[in-house]
Structure 1
Amino acid sequence: MKQSETATHGRRAVIELREKILSGELQGGTRLFEVPLAELLDISRTPVREALSRLTEEGLLDRLPSGGFVVRRFGFSDVIDAIELRGVMEGMAARLAAERGVETEAIEKISETVRLLDDCFGEKLDEVDFDAYSELNERFHHQLAALSGSEMIRREVERASSLPFASPSAFLPDRADIASFRRSLRGAQEQHRLMVAAIAAREGSRAEAIAREHARTARRNLEYILAEDPGMISKVRGLAFIRH
């Protein structure tokens, strides 16, 4: 098999297996082996092996000492810890950016992203272009991590954000169409604006505090679903494999 074809199959395997895990089709504790998965996906073992290693790095799988892999079990406390960890890492990135100073061009780029995010909101309080917001929100957080000027910090922010429920767009309304979630995005957007302003003003402590509070949006959305509308669990990507 050509190297490019192997890479293509590997990406497809990662996407398909990740989706099966997040949808709950492959539940926590399920053991996974290369040969059956290769047959299921109709590809060779090499891209399956690479996909399993990638999903292990993302934290969705654990490697078994005896061979093979197992789908990780996640509890509510694990999710909360992951969200808090992302907040800590992004807060550190924001503080370092403010204290070390950022090139004007970098501030202009992230400010432009904030402006484009503004355009995602309509006149009504809960009117939001979710698809555009989600894409631009991810861009903002990548730019924020890079502003620290530290490749180590950038990598750790990306690592902390890699699990679906800890990512910047975790539990955003999407197809769930929860009006209160959509309205909360306006508050999150204001935090984007305040973060950039604090970094530009070299206010490290303020930038860090805003970034840490901002990360908790995912926690509040999760708590709303579990406490107020548990019927949404099956409709929000990633919740199916969290033990409640």
Structure 2
Amino acid sequence: MQNIRSVKDKLPDEPFSGQNGMQFEGEDDDSSADSQLGRATERLRHLVLTGTFPLDEKLAEARVAELLAVSRTPARLAMAALERDGLLVRLPRRGFRVRSISLAEVVEAIEVRGELEAVAARAIVERGLSDASRAALRDAVAWGDTILAGGAFDAERRRAWCALNDDFHHALVAACGMRPLVAAYHQVNLVPMAAPRDTIFNVAEPNLLLRQLTVAQDDHRRIVSALEAGQAMRAAGLIREHAYRSGENKRRNFPHVDMRTMVMETPGIALVR
């Protein structure tokens, strides 16, 4: 199986790079003044997404600071950052609580993501698909074929699929060259379970699981074919259908997941109710 970085390593550098395209050329990715806060925020994000804190209950500032190994000020700032990302809710005069997410909200966020990707597809056709982006998308499709041909979807193969799906959609959006769209795309992917990597695997029904992933892989292949053929409307339509199926698969699979396993494999599912 290919290394999980194989596709993203081939993404074009212009006009943006980094996870979800949020680091632009010429921008410092490690400001010393913000490094402690950045680390604290990402650590707190991980704790929230993996269900460390009870849903809809107040976060004790002292406990958060202890877990993050920081003082109360950066802990408070980290909580404020996660409020802006929609993971925490500010309580009147008494701190924050972890926000639960409805499955309907997850599906809505996936639909919004699909619309952004559809706009990206039209821009790709108008501006032209670069050789680097073409290679990244083709590599993602080829990697998907390898994963699907590999047999049962054990934990390693599930992780590989999540990485592959993230790579494909990342490459698609990166190819459009639209900085505002990339920023909006990053924001919608902050909704728990809405990002392409956040696949819900119904391992209790392996035949259904294989059918769902096979259809998703066929979608990827047809989207790339439409982009290469310069068929903007067809590509946009395929992307919308793909997003719709992704949301419906989450509705279908969510009641049947092993939550203990999925919390570790797919951070964010612990917040969905």
Query: TM-score, normalising length from structure 1?
Result: 0.81
Do residues 39 (structure 1) and 69 (structure 2) align?
Answer: no
Q: 1:232: which partner in 2?
A: 258
Seen in structure 2, the aligned counterparts of structure 1 residues 106 and 42 have a Cα distance that, compared at 3 Å, is closer
Map 1:128-147 → 2, pairs under 5 A: 129-147=157-175
Aligned residue-pair number = 237
Q: 1:102: which partner in 2?
A: 129
Structure 2: tracts of 5 or more residues without a match: 1-30
Do residues 241 (structure 1) and 271 (structure 2) align?
Answer: yes
Paired amino acid for 1:28: L
Q: What is the alpha-carbon root mean square deviation over aligned residues?
A: 3.0
Report the Cα distance in structure 2 between the residues aligned to 1:240 and 1:53, rounded to whole angstroms.
20
Shift of 1:178: 4.6
- 3-state SS in 1 of match to 2:97: strand
Map 1:1-244 → 2, pairs under 5 A: 7=35, 10-11=38-39, 14-15=42-43, 17-32=44-59, 34-64=61-91, 66=93, 68-122=95-149, 124=151, 129-173=157-201, 176=203, 178-179=205-206, 180-226=208-254, 229=256, 232-237=258-263, 238-243=268-273
Shift of 1:211: 1.2
Report the Cα distance in structure 2 between the residues aligned to 1:126 and 1:27, rounded to whole angstroms.
31
Paired amino acid for 1:95: R
Seen in structure 2, the aligned counterparts of structure 1 residues 221 and 8 have a Cα distance that, compared at 3 Å, is farther
Q: Percent identity?
A: 32
Seen in structure 2, the aligned counterparts of structure 1 residues 37 and 125 have a Cα distance that, compared at 3 Å, is closer
Query: TM-score, normalising length from structure 2?
Result: 0.73
Report the Cα distance in structure 1 between the residues aligned to 2:46 and 2:136, rounded to whole angstroms.
33
Seen in structure 2, the aligned counterparts of structure 1 residues 189 and 50 have a Cα distance that, compared at 3 Å, is farther
Structure 1: tracts of 5 or more residues without a match: none
Report the Cα distance in structure 2 between the residues aligned to 1:53 and 1:239, rounded to whole angstroms.
21
Shift of 1:152: 0.8
- 3-state SS in 2 of match to 1:96: helix
Seen in structure 2, the aligned counterparts of structure 1 residues 137 and 34 have a Cα distance that, compared at 3 Å, is same
Q: Which runs of 4+ in 1 moved over 6 A?
A: 125-128
Instruction: Spell out, residue by residue over 1:45-69, the C-alpha distance to the aligned partner (whole angstroms, 9 max, x if none).
Output: 3442343233223321133463632
